[in-house]
């Protein structure tokens, strides 16, 4: 069942189109005892949480989809402080329910393979794709709660998984699909092996399917390493050496090695990932065209599914082909 992902992720990429019919997922906010009190907190120091619906189909009670929420990154302390005053950095702003389509949809007509699985959106509130692991908080008067800011994404991930294991039956799982979109897609690359290591031995099927998370370690058209520099700063600021693929770090010479920061990029993590990965990404991703290559374009996206070479055990790579791109200006 976990092999049949082609159409599901095409639907996931266009999830906004099916939101009106998507069932709402309920918020599960972690108690302070298993979050705040052990330092597993959002940027502003508040408790993290997830959105979920748990199956009432007995034969699927051990089947799960875990989905990393996306939402970009904050590249410096000022940007993170601003983010801490939103739902992407503080549970004080979390909505009580959350609708999500595609692979998380409850309608079997939209999502026949996974509609009746246990479905969980791991909410993103750390600004670094669940990779930060800094012990000391950062003084930040711009945060509205407490005046301090925390980079604890890895601890948040641990706390969310532990709550699901302790209270909702993940400890009895037999098949798990790990996914996420955009910054959550990057989270999927970074954490696939780690999440697998935290699951019980009862899991016989585990696969990862990142959507639009293969962000390029690439200079702009003008030859400026703008996005690499931004992510390098995220890695350093948040101490992401404590929260990315461990084998990647080892291959780079260890967490303190000069090139260790590159492990926050999908291509480096993917090269050292053992879990089977079904990669879906755009060949001309609109965000990357604007923010990595620094093209400013008007565009209309037409989705074209094309199989290309993928490692055995992985899924197809789905380029999203952009037609009618009209450049307004090309920098450089």
Q: Would you place residue 143 in the very low, low, confident or very high pLDDT band (cuts 50, 70, 90)?
A: low
Mean pLDDT for 136-148 is: 78
CB 151 within 8 A of CB 126: yes
DSSP codes joined into one string, 103-119: GG-S-TTT-TTTTTSEE
Is the per-residue pLDDT at 287 higher than 50? yes
Is the per-residue pLDDT at 3 higher than 70? no
- With CA atoms as reference, report the closest residue to 272 among 246, 254, 253: 246
Is the per-residue pLDDT at 253 higher than 70? yes
- C-alpha distance from residue 281 to each of 2, 11, 274, 305, 307 (Å): 18, 13, 20, 10, 12
**DSSP letter, residue 37:** G
What CA–CA distance (Å, rounded) separates 117 from 175? 10
Q: H/E element holding 53? A: strand 49-53
Is the per-residue pLDDT at 267 higher than 50? yes
What CA–CA distance (Å, rounded) separates 131 from 202? 26
Pairing outcome for strands 175-181 and 205-211 = parallel
Among 61-70, 259-268, 322-331, whose mean pLDDT is lowest? Answer: 322-331
Q: Would you place residue 17 in the very low, low, confident or very high pLDDT band (cuts 50, 70, 90)?
A: very low
What CA–CA distance (Å, rounded) separates 208 from 180? 9
pLDDT at residue 142, as a whole number: 67
Q: Would you place residue 326 in the very low, low, confident or very high pLDDT band (cuts 50, 70, 90)?
A: very low
pLDDT at residue 145, as a whole number: 62
270: β partners: none
Q: What is the pTM of this model?
A: 0.84
Mean pLDDT for 98-119 is: 92
What CA–CA distance (Å, rounded) separates 226 from 235? 14
pLDDT at residue 16, as a whole number: 36
Is the per-residue pLDDT at 313 higher than 80? no
Dump pLDDT digits (tens) for 91-105: 999 999 999 888 899
Helix then strand then coil, in percent of the chain rounded to 5, is 35, 20, 50
pLDDT at residue 59, as a whole number: 97
What CA–CA distance (Å, rounded) separates 233 from 77? 10
Question: Among residues of the chain, what percentage have pLDDT more than 90?
Answer: 70
Q: What is the mean pLDDT of the chain?
A: 84
């Amino acid at each position: 069942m976990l092999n049949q992902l082609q159409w599901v992720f095409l639907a996931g990429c266009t999830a906004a189109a099916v939101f009106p019919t998507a069932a709402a997922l309920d918020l599960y906010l972690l108690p302070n005892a298993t979050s705040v009190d052990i330092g597993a907190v959002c940027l502003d120091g508040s408790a993290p949480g997830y959105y979920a619906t748990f199956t009432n189909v007995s034969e699927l009670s051990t089947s799960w989809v875990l989905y990393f929420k996306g939402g970009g990154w904050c590249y410096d302390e000022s940007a993170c402080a601003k983010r801490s005053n939103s739902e992407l950095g503080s549970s004080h702003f979390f909505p009580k329910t959350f609708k999500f389509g595609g692979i998380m949809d409850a309608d079997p007509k939209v999502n026949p393979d996974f509609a009746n699985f246990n479905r969980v959106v791991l909410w993103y509130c750390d600004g670094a794709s669940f990779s930060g692991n800094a012990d000391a908080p950062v003084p930040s008067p711009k945060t509205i709660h407490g005046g301090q800011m925390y980079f604890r994404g890895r601890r948040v991930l641990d706390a969310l998984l532990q709550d699901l294991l302790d209270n909702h039956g993940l400890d009895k799982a037999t098949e798990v699909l790990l996914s996420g979109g955009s910054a959550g897609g990057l989270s999927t690359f970074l954490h696939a092996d780690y999440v697998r290591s935290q699951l019980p031995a009862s899991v016989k099927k585990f696969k990862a399917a990142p959507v639009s998370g293969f962000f390029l370690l690439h200079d702009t058209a003008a030859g400026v390493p703008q996005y690499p520099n931004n992510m390098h700063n995220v890695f350093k600021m948040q101490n992401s050496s404590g929260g990315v693929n461990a084998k990647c770090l080892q291959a780079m010479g260890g967490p303190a090695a000069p090139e260790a920061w590159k492990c926050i990029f999908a291509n480096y993590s993917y090269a050292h990932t053992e879990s089977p990965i079904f990669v879906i990404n755009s060949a001309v991703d609109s965000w990357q065209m604007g923010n990595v290559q620094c093209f400013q374009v008007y565009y209309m996206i037409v989705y074209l599914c094309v199989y290309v070479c993928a490692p055995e055990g992985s899924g197809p790579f789905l380029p999203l082909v952009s037609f009618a791109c009209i450049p307004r200006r090309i920098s450089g």
